[in-house]
Amino acid sequence: MQYPTFTKEHKSLMSKHLSEDIFNKLNTLNTSSFFTLEQAINSGIKNPDSGIGVYAGDEESYKVFEDLFDPIIEEYHGFAKDDKHQSNLDANDLIAPNPDVKGKYIISTRIRVGRNLKNIPLGPAISDEQRLEVEKLVSKELSNFENDLSGTYYPLDGMSEKDKNTLIEDHFLFKTGDRFLESAGLNKDWPKGRGIYHNDEKTFLVWINEEDQLRIISMQNGGNIKEVFQRLCKAIQKLEENMSFSFNEHLGYITSCPTNLGTAMRASVHIKLPNLAQNMKEFEKITNKYYLQIRGIHGEHSQSEDGIFDISNKRRLGVTEVQCVQDMYDGVVALIKKEQEF
Ligand code: ADP
Ligand code: IOM
């Protein structure tokens, strides 16, 4: 392919870091699952509003295309080439008493991690057969879960439009036809091999074969962040008893988008901050200080509605899972304090 034409609309870290020299060096390379630079950057080229704009097809992509990935990882996570990742999934280490016992601000809390099976390509390079294999393995494993984690797997293929739309509207299920995932090759053979597992209360959920092969999710109404984290840690531990996930000492858990490397964790609250919504400068001072990201209430690339925001940790690599949740918690405490001052 030719060096892409980036316009001033292209805002991604990929468009910032892909110089012509790096492009020429990487353009003819591929990984052992035949993943190329062209596939890796297609989403960021087609979607100028991408934040990152580059995906990996397998763990090897992070090595083969390191001249592009390393500066992006360094800028997003503040994590250097020789740094080592550390994991801590001990919920006892989190200090997080409910910051909003009266339920005035926090509507709900959700913490998710991404996981991908060892030795199987990531979503952008996986074959249709491998995707189905992942669905089979993971849903079988989940069928052994008991007590509060016990639930049912619902494949997307065959789910009624009504059920699907209700699950999406209620924030439980991923959207259909996401244009960022589409051009990353992640929507191939849709909807086959995709689905959602959840318990009756919908407090423990697993997405299968969306942006990552697994998104393991714990969520509930209100601000009991510790309880949400405890449930998630328990579920991860149970899954790891019988499944091996792609992981290395440098990058932690391997994910298709470099923003998720390391812990692959996004801990968020949906929170009402109508006063701060009118004072975005003050708002962003706090979110920058606590390494937080602001999203709209229908997930990534959506807008906030009625002064309600999705606030989550931004750093995911080089910090532990406990620290990710602590970043979000400490920032939320500071946001509520500021909101009350207006
Ligand atoms: P991900 O978190 O997996 O990166 P998204 O940002 O697209 O993906 O969010 C997925 C879904 O989870 C969306 O419907 C979003 O509204 C919902 N969600 C995220 N955080 C919360 C929360 N704290 N409470 C309720 N729903 C949430
Ligand atoms: N994780 C991914 N969906 N996102 C960061 C894409 C992007 O905006 O580049």
Which two tokens mark 225?
Answer: 């962040």
Is it the case that residue 73 has pLDDT exceeding 90?
yes
> Which amino acid appears at position 158 of this protein?
G
Which part of the chain has CATH 3.30.590.10?
Answer: 91-341
**What pLDDT is stored for residue 54 in this prediction?**
98
Across all residues in the chain, what is the average pLDDT? Answer: 97
**What pLDDT is stored for residue 94 in this prediction?**
97
The alpha carbon of 100 and the centre of ligand 2 are apart by a number of angstroms equal to 30
For ligand 1, pick from 171, 201, 271, 324 the residue to mutate: most ligand atoms within 8 Å of CB. Answer: 171
Confidence of residue 215 (pLDDT cuts 50, 70, 90): very high
Is it the case that residue 52 has pLDDT exceeding 90?
yes
Is it the case that residue 305 has pLDDT exceeding 90?
no
Q: How far apart are CA 191 and CA 156, in angstroms?
A: 6
Confidence of residue 299 (pLDDT cuts 50, 70, 90): confident
**What pLDDT is stored for residue 107 in this prediction?**
98
Q: How far apart are CA 23 and CA 262, in angstroms?
A: 26
**Secondary-structure class of domain 13-77 per CATH:** mainly alpha
Q: How far apart are CA 53 and CA 47, in angstroms?
A: 8
Q: Residue 191, preceding bond cis, omega within 30 degrees?
A: yes
For ligand 1, pick from 106, 164, 166, 297 the residue to mutate: most ligand atoms within 8 Å of CB. Answer: 297
Are the beta carbons of 262 and 252 closer than 8 angstroms?
yes
**What pLDDT is stored for residue 172 in this prediction?**
98
Are the beta carbons of 258 and 76 closer than 8 angstroms?
yes
C-beta neighbour count of 237 within 10 angstroms: 10
Active-site option among 110, 131, 215, 316: 215
Residue 51 CB–ligand 2 contact under 6 Å: yes
**What pLDDT is stored for residue 281 in this prediction?**
96
Architecture of domain 91-341: 2-Layer Sandwich (3.30)
What would the mean pLDDT of 143-159 be, rounded to a whole number? 97
Are the beta carbons of 203 and 113 closer than 8 angstroms?
no
Is it the case that residue 24 has pLDDT exceeding 90?
yes
Is it the case that residue 301 has pLDDT exceeding 90?
no
- Of 159-163, 201-205, 293-297, 302-306, the one with minimum mean pLDDT is 302-306
Contacts 24+ apart (CB under 8 A), 4-10: 4/41, 4/45, 7/48, 9/48, 9/49, 10/44, 10/45, 10/48, 10/53
The alpha carbon of 297 and the centre of ligand 1 are apart by a number of angstroms equal to 7
**What pLDDT is stored for residue 179 in this prediction?**
98
Residue 12 CB–ligand 2 contact under 6 Å: yes
Active-site option among 266, 316, 321, 339: 266
The alpha carbon of 342 and the centre of ligand 1 are apart by a number of angstroms equal to 28
Which part of the chain has CATH 1.10.135.10?
Answer: 13-77
Shortest-distance ligand to the CA of residue 312? 1
Give strand ranges (E) for the chain.
Answer: 106-115, 151-155, 195-199, 204-208, 214-221, 247-248, 252-253, 265-272, 292-295, 308-313
Angle at 237 between CA 233 and CA 241, to 5 degrees: 170
Residue 109 CB–ligand 1 contact under 6 Å: yes
Residue 53 CB–ligand 2 contact under 6 Å: yes
Q: How far apart are CA 193 and CA 35, in angstroms?
A: 21
Neighbouring-strand partners of residue 198:
152, 205
Rg (CA), the chain: 20
